């Protein structure tokens, strides 16, 4: 059996892991793969089993999800550490009873502690790690020690460079992102969207808008068709069919926009180190427009949408077959375990 431990912070860790699972399933239709996570089950269609469980406390966010309180998050994590002995013991028993041969994690540090206790090799995957996020807090050193028990880390693009030495081995891979398998023209036809009609995907995630802002967005209808999950239930179809994506920033949505070559308009978040790192990468590999938070909250989007459609083409193009590359590497290690 192959077990994946996946962070429940947002959907990004889950959706990119789901893309890797899909590629592993192409390599081995019968391989038992189990997911253990606090994230919802829908990204993991290729898995054999799914178990909902808490592997780490959630990051403390502002009510509108555009600000992060790292100090409070670190305090919650320190409190959670008191529960780790029981969690590690129960997971070790589960892994040994089910003859698990390899652990893969994106990227809860507890998986390293479970690997050490069970004697099962573990690989990490991700574009950041939690000791980098919590740098300067006492918990960071303990997270780094947990990561040292991993055998290797698959490092995604849109990553930081510092701190990866906590892993014994680091392997750089192309961009990992799920993508729609349908033709753009077929999706537009399904929803009755004319070929010359410009559309935007509103993907606020946890960043919610109030009713006044939503009312203001209705005025975009003369120039832009707004499509969301009430229009199409498959999010990856939504991204493929649109012309512009509007969302709070994060690896998952940025990676899919890069793969589909769509511009991303985003309100900046505060307090989360990943965001500043992503913005540095955006300048080189993505078409993005930063929308001031006040304009986001007021629904004053039109000038930023227009700017996105006329912005520069990225100077560099990233390879986007990271899910396939990771699948081959993980499956190869599983076979040799």
In the chain, what are the domain boundaries? 2-176+321-336, 184-309
The pLDDT value given to residue 133: 96
Per-residue model confidence as pLDDT tens for the chain (337 residues): 999 999 998 889 999 999 999 999 999 999 999 999 999 999 999 999 999 999 999 999 887 778 999 999 999 999 999 999 999 999 999 999 999 999 999 999 999 999 999 999 999 999 999 999 999 999 999 999 999 999 999 999 999 999 999 999 999 999 999 999 999 999 999 999 888 888 888 765 545 677 788 788 888 888 888 888 888 889 899 999 999 999 988 999 999 999 999 999 999 989 999 999 999 999 899 999 999 999 998 889 999 999 999 988 888 999 999 999 999 999 999 999 9
pTM for the predicted model, two decimal places = 0.95
Give CA 38 to chain center in angstroms: 14
Query: Which of 140, 79, 144, 146 lies closest to 117 in space, CA to CA?
Result: 146
DSSP structural state of residue 243: S
Residue 203: what pLDDT? 64
Estimate to the nearest angstrom the gap between the alpha carbon of 233 and the chain centroid: 19
State residue 207's pLDDT score. 56
What pLDDT is attached to residue 324? Answer: 99
Identical fold, 2-176+321-336 and 184-309: yes
Secondary structure E strands in the chain: 2-6, 33-37, 49-52, 102-106, 122-126, 152-155, 170-172, 199-203, 225-227, 244-247, 264-266, 288-290
Q: Are 128 and 277 in contact (CB under 8 A)?
A: yes
CA–CA separation, 299 vs 220, rounded Å? 10
Cis peptide before 307 (omega within 30 of 0): no
Question: Can you tell me which residue has the tokens 């390899």?
Answer: 102
Which two three-digit tokens encode residue 261?
């070559």
The answer to whether 104 and 126 are in contact (CB under 8 A) is no
The answer to whether the CB of 89 falls within 8 A of the CB of 97 is no
Of 155, 151, 129, which is closest to residue 142 (Cα–Cα)?
129
Kindly give the residue spans of alpha helices, DSSP state H, lying in the chain. Answer: 12-27, 70-80, 84-97, 110-118, 130-133, 139-147, 184-190, 211-217, 235-241, 251-260, 273-285, 293-298, 302-309, 322-336
Q: Are strands 244-247 and 199-203 parallel, antiparallel or unpaired?
A: parallel
Burial class (CB in 10 A: 0-12, 13-18, 19+), 87: middle
State residue 63's pLDDT score. 74
Distances (CA, A) of 57 to 80, 108, 110, 176: 7, 10, 11, 25
pLDDT at position 208: 66
Name the CA radius of gyration of the chain, rounded: 20
Report which of 121, 176, 109, 195 is spatially closest to residue 146, judged by C-alpha positions: 109
The per-residue pLDDT for 211 is 79
Q: Which pLDDT value is given to residue 227?
A: 87
CATH class of 184-309: alpha beta
* Half-sphere exposure (Cβ direction) of 35: Cα atoms closer than 13 Å: 27
Structure tokens that stand for 213 in this block: 């802002």
- Contact between 264 and 248 under an 8 Å Cβ cutoff? The reply is no
Superfamily of domain 2-176+321-336: Glycogen Phosphorylase B; (3.40.50.2000)
Residue whose pair of structure tokens reads 């013991």 in the numeric block: 89
| Three-state DSSP state, 265 | strand
């Amino acid at each position: 059996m192959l077990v994946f431990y996946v962070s429940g912070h947002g959907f990004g860790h889950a959706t990119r892991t789901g893309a890797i699972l899909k590629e592993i399933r192409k390599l081995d239709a019968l391989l038992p793969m189990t997911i253990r996570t606090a994230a919802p089950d829908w990204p993991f269609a290729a898995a054999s089993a799914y178990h909902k469980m808490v592997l780490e406390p959630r990051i403390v966010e502002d009510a509108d999800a555009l600000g992060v309180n790292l100090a409070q998050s670190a305090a919650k994590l320190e409190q959670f550490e008191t529960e780790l002995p029981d969690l590690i013991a129960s997971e070790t028993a589960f892994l040994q009873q089910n003859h698990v041969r390899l652990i893969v994690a994106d990227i809860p540090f507890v998986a390293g502690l479970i690997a050490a206790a069970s004697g099962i090799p573990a690989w990490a995957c991700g574009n950041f790690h939690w000791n980098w996020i919590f740098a300067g807090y006492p918990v960071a050193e303990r997270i780094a020690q947990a990561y040292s028990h991993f055998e290797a880390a698959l490092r995604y693009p849109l990553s930081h460079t510092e701190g990866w030495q906590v892993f014994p081995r680091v392997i750089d891979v192309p961009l990992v992102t799920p993508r729609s398998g349908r033709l753009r023209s077929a999706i537009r036809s399904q929803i009755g969207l004319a070929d010359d009609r410009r559309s935007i995907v509103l993907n606020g995630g946890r960043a919610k808008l109030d009713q006044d802002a939503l009312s203001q967005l209705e005025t975009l209808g003369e120039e832009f068709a707004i499509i969301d999950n009430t229009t199409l239930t498959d999010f990856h179809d939504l991204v493929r069919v649109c012309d512009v994506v509007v969302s709070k920033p994060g690896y998952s949505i940025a990676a899919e926009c890069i793969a589909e070559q769509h511009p991303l308009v985003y309100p900046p978040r505060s307090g989360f180190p990943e965001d500043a790192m992503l913005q540095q990468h955006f300048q080189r590999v993505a078409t993005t427009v930063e929308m001031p938070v006040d304009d986001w909250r007021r629904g004053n989007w039109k000038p930023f949408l227009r700017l996105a459609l006329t912005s520069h083409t990225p100077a560099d193009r990233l390879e986007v077959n990271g899910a396939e590359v990771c699948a081959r590497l993980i499956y190869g290690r599983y076979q040799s375990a």
